[in-house]
Structure 1
Amino acid sequence: MTTLNILMAQMNTLVGDFEGNTQKVIETLKRAEAERQEPVLIFPELTLSGYPPEDLLLRPSVETRVDKALEQIKAAMTGDGWLIVGYPRRIGHALYNAAGVLHRGELIVEYCKQRLPNFQVFDEKRYFQSGTESCVVKIAGLAVGLSICEDVWDPELSKEAAAKGAELLINISASPYHRGKRDQRWRWMGDRARETGIPMVYVNQVGGQDELVFDGGSFAVSASGDVCAAAPNFNEGEYWLEARRKEGVVELSGLDVAKPLDELAATWHALVLGLRDYVNKNQFRGVVLGLSGGVDSALTLALAVDALGPARVEAVMMPFRYTSQISVEDAAEQSLTLGVKHKVISIEPMYESFMEALREEFAGLEPDTTEQNLQARCRGVLLMSISNKKGLLVLTTGNKSELAVGYSTLYGDMAGGFDVIKDVPKTLVYELCRYRNSLGPCIPERVIERAPSAELAPDQKDEDSLPPYEVLDRILELYVEKDYSASAIIATGMDTQDVYRVLRLVDLNEYKRRQAPIGVRISQRGFGRDRRYPITSGWALGD
């Protein structure tokens, strides 16, 4: 009987930090060798560079950095451990997304990724050439077929490894989260195992990288395609498996299937992790945000506290003559409940100073949204000044619905460094608020129950200028995430006037979104690197 002690190293890397990532690999190796005999450590895709390295891959020193990292790892391999680790590898004039197998200070074999994703958030064909050969290597007496992320979605590649005698298939991945992603992975990996009759181990990266969040959730499937072991989602960690060959059959055991998170819980964890890693990896002391007493800023504050702790979060209420007393009270109550530093700074004096300076320019012109935007810009100036003085990152609080239709002010409520709810539709904002309250006191119930309002004009309500959010979000989902045309959306039963009004707003406000802060991606089509539409365009509306 042959037994492999497999360690799924679900690692949170820092893009570009070859030295730091390499040191984490070495430290993991030392721990594993102290715990198990002849351990087989599996690390995620492009572990040494972090993923996605983007145009860092075009820097001439990448090859030198990879070579140095591999030499450091080889020098540290004084025991009997095996390593499967990902890195960018230059061979001749071509750069490949590679996985190396190392043992006793030697690079045994390298495999180059064959299927390069070039859709949604992926640009791998910009940087890498495709590998052309499958790879099966003997590891501690077991024939192991290697693949990297997208490779496993192609049935033919797994069949090629099986034809070469693979008894176990290992996939290293850097697969970003979106809602529903875990079920997709389990289904696809299960399909590959059933098609080949070979068990599979899948190891995924965890952590936030700019707008992407990697949720980990490394797992294994049996030869029958059933998930037989799974690590927790959103947690960095080291998870042991055993692969045993007995009478020609390989079975996986040694790790339970972690209890799956429901979709709301998974979304919450993704937002928290994405915010935490953005703040910490960019070395901000903490965050500051405008707490208006509305639902979006309330959700943002809750996420910030869960991500960073109350000591690193500051909330500023900036009232104006249209701000209701209820809003002032609710903002103060939430700050007190969560234990964050809370300030109240009126924008009235600033606004009056601006209006006096603009008196001649505005003479004879009727008030309009200009005055409303000026209120938002006064608040943006205050928050950015606090940011500069205290070294705090400004969190903006715009949700996906508002950003889609331009219901936001450039250099006002859009002024800041990170928007954690940027990809969260308004209807989901409410669901997440209720979810967080189910975990403990957090957001005043009155904030959730009140009709949403920007409070930039007397008795203002969002639905005065927008369709109800249930309607708006359905139209946006079909247009932005699923690429439906106007006629196709109308055919689903949506009102024609609402559809054309919303689609026109989406198209017109691309210029605003280009200037918006980045935020955590949780859908299959977020604004940013996911959806690259021209600002200047003669495209017919809604086609």
Structure 2
Amino acid sequence: MKLAIAQMNSVVGAMQANAEHILVCAQEAYAQGARMLLTPELALCGYPPEDLLFRQDFYAANQRSLTWLISHLPSDMAVIIGHPHAVSGKRYNAASVIHSGNIQATYHKHILPNYSVFDEERYFEAGHLPVVFEWQGTRYGLMICADSWEPGPALQALQANAQVLLTINASPYHIQKQLTRYQVLRDRIKETGLPMIYANMVGGQDELVFDGTSFAMNSKGELMQELPAFESHLGYISLQQGQPLAADIPDTLSPEAAVYTALKLGLADYVNKNGFPGVVLGLSGGIDSALTLAIAVDALGKYRVKAVMMPSEFTASISLEDAALMAKLLGVEYSVLPIKPLFEGFCSTLAEEFAGQAFDTTEENLQARIRGMLLMAISNKFGSMVITTGNKSETAVGYSTLYGDMAGGFALIKDVPKTLVYKLAEYRNRLGMVIPERIITRAPSAELRADQTDQDSLPSYEILDGIMEAYVERDKSPEDIIRMGYAAKDVQRVTRLIDRNEYKRRQAAVGVRITERGFGKDRRYPITCRLAFE
């Protein structure tokens, strides 16, 4: 039997468009000889629909699209569709088995994740019953995403005489996530002795990116087939007596290639799904804005990206030279808007107010806010969205300016630590040199005062990123981190800065999540808090 997986990029709320896409996949798969099609979790409405799930008209729209789809699907094909299901006053994350013009069975997700970026207990009731259906002589057990991460649902399907386990998913990407999925499914295979087919969503949805990489394993836990990462794809798996047969498997992306591709996909989908004509960003001659520009051009094309250099009296000549060179290499529209006259005007207006006060971070932040205003003015005039360029390390310790370099609609690299920024820049240059080498090798600086470098006020980024990863992503205490070998003064400084700057992060734009725990849905800390970690 030939099975198809629609590794599709659903748009949240676009039920009819999603249904039409499923139909196209079903028709193409049928023409290629497939007699079963799997779609991802909540493929009909997109994932995650969040508080749309509280609206009755949302379920009505889903039902209309589902009814339309059922009436158009090939009658002698089994199609598994992920969709929300409201029944008897309860809401379920569901998957329905459709063939012969009818819903033959509907499965309700058993295990509702309520951690990290997931809030499913807020929206859904948990199901309890297995769904096992027979198709062309084989019995298939159906599961949804988190049901595969614990043994219960798989064992229930086995007890109901399933011979193959099907799991449909909306599993978001983070670094090395696929290796975890392999291990989880191998655990279920070891417990049940059954082969498994894993169908996953692809695409960007706000801060989440879904990487696809759907796959099949035989009853020995051997990887037999895998679909491409980060691509919408209609893939096929041949089954013989329920066992998936071996086929060519795409090469695994390197960690840097995977992150870079995730960032491209996240940006492209955010811009395109929200209808922006393009993007604009401030190009400083530094590594963060350089990487951001490269990703933006790769994601959207050079004609949809504008770069703006906004030099001040503290901007080094090499920054001007490197920014201009990079804009030329990428072929983007490029403007130079000096901010010195504007800065002097603000300082003149504030002179009496600030009489007797020394130049400090107030004047540094004023320059950043002038730049933010200029970028937002360009955005307002032409409709392009402003991309901010701050990385995760800066976001963690508050090395950014509210309403300045934080002003914008999408924070592309907000979950990328500084040390990874350099690796991604080097990766991109291996594909073709677009980031001048001097941008990568020179000491990073905000250039908001004379002779400034980031390390004037921060430990080295290797140290900062190590402390941040332990504190933010693994919830290690400062004492634990010191025992890991970091200097106490560095740990105390970094962790205090992280805690103090929650108020800034709460006001930041959304951006692509690529680590296991980003700033956003993953990490929800109170802004007002006096808890002191000793």
TM-score range (shorter-chain normalised) is: over 0.9
Give yes or no for the alignment of 1:156 onto 2:152: yes
Residue identity in the other structure for 1:180: Q
Post-superposition offset of 1:267: 0.7
Show structure 1 runs of 4+ deviating over 6 A.
none
For 1:55-454, what aligned pairs fall within 5 Å after superposition? 55-245=51-241, 250-253=242-245, 255-454=247-446
Q: Corresponding residue for 2:28?
A: 31
When residues 7 and 507 of structure 1 are mapped into structure 2, their CA distance, relative to the original with a 3 A threshold, is: same
Partner-residue secondary structure (3-state), 1:361:
coil
Post-superposition offset of 1:491: 0.8
Post-superposition offset of 1:9: 0.5
* Alpha-carbon distance in 1 for matches of 2:243, 2:407: 54
Task: Give CA deviations for 1:347-386 in whole Å, capped at 9, x if unaligned.
Answer: 0111111111111111121111100000001100100000
* Alpha-carbon distance in 2 for matches of 1:416, 1:317: 16
Post-superposition offset of 1:74: 1.5
Decide whether the 8 Å contact of 2:5 with 2:39 is kept in 1.
Answer: yes
* Alpha-carbon distance in 2 for matches of 1:150, 1:436: 35
* Alpha-carbon distance in 1 for matches of 2:353, 2:10: 53
Give the counterpart of 2:507 among 511, 515, 518: 515
Post-superposition offset of 1:253: 2.1
Partner-residue secondary structure (3-state), 1:258:
coil
Q: Corresponding residue for 1:461?
A: 453
* Alpha-carbon distance in 2 for matches of 1:177, 1:114: 22
Decide whether the 8 Å contact of 2:74 with 2:99 is kept in 1.
Answer: no
Give the counterpart of 1:13 among 10, 13, 16: 10
Decide whether the 8 Å contact of 2:117 with 2:522 is kept in 1.
Answer: yes
Post-superposition offset of 1:33: 2.1
RMSD: 1.0
* Alpha-carbon distance in 1 for matches of 2:136, 2:338: 68
Residue identity in the other structure for 2:392: K
Task: Give CA deviations for 1:149-189 in whole Å, capped at 9, x if unaligned.
Answer: 00001123212211211111100000000001010111111
When residues 261 and 78 of structure 1 are mapped into structure 2, their CA distance, relative to the original with a 3 A threshold, is: closer
Between the two proteins, what is the percent identity of the paired residues?
A: 53
Post-superposition offset of 1:140: 2.5
Decide whether the 8 Å contact of 1:240 with 1:254 is kept in 2.
Answer: no
Partner-residue secondary structure (3-state), 1:277:
helix
* Alpha-carbon distance in 1 for matches of 2:453, 2:396: 18
When residues 254 and 8 of structure 1 are mapped into structure 2, their CA distance, relative to the original with a 3 A threshold, is: farther
* Alpha-carbon distance in 2 for matches of 1:57, 1:164: 31
When residues 262 and 78 of structure 1 are mapped into structure 2, their CA distance, relative to the original with a 3 A threshold, is: closer
Residue identity in the other structure for 2:332: V
Residue identity in the other structure for 2:531: W
Report the more deviating stretch, 429-438 or 79-88.
79-88
Residue identity in the other structure for 1:97: N
Task: Give CA deviations for 1:380-423 in whole Å, capped at 9, x if unaligned.
Answer: 01000000111101000000000100000001000001011000
Unaligned runs of 5+ in 1: none
* Alpha-carbon distance in 2 for matches of 1:456, 1:140: 69
Decide whether the 8 Å contact of 1:33 with 1:79 is kept in 2.
Answer: no
Decide whether the 8 Å contact of 2:308 with 2:337 is kept in 1.
Answer: yes
Give yes or no for the alignment of 1:534 onto 2:530: no
Partner-residue secondary structure (3-state), 1:61:
helix
Decide whether the 8 Å contact of 2:53 with 2:59 is kept in 1.
Answer: no
Residue identity in the other structure for 1:385: A
Post-superposition offset of 1:34: 2.2
* Alpha-carbon distance in 1 for matches of 2:72, 2:100: 9
* Alpha-carbon distance in 2 for matches of 1:255, 1:51: 29
Residue identity in the other structure for 2:275: Q
Decide whether the 8 Å contact of 1:298 with 1:443 is kept in 2.
Answer: yes
How many aligned residue pairs are there? 534
Q: Corresponding residue for 1:497?
A: 489
Residue identity in the other structure for 2:185: M
Report the more deviating stretch, 286-295 or 355-364.
355-364
Decide whether the 8 Å contact of 2:224 with 2:246 is kept in 1.
Answer: no
Post-superposition offset of 1:36: 1.3
* Alpha-carbon distance in 2 for matches of 1:535, 1:307: 35
TM-score in terms of structure 1 length: 0.97
* Alpha-carbon distance in 1 for matches of 2:68, 2:281: 43
Decide whether the 8 Å contact of 1:399 with 1:423 is kept in 2.
Answer: yes
Post-superposition offset of 1:78: 4.3
Residue identity in the other structure for 2:5: M
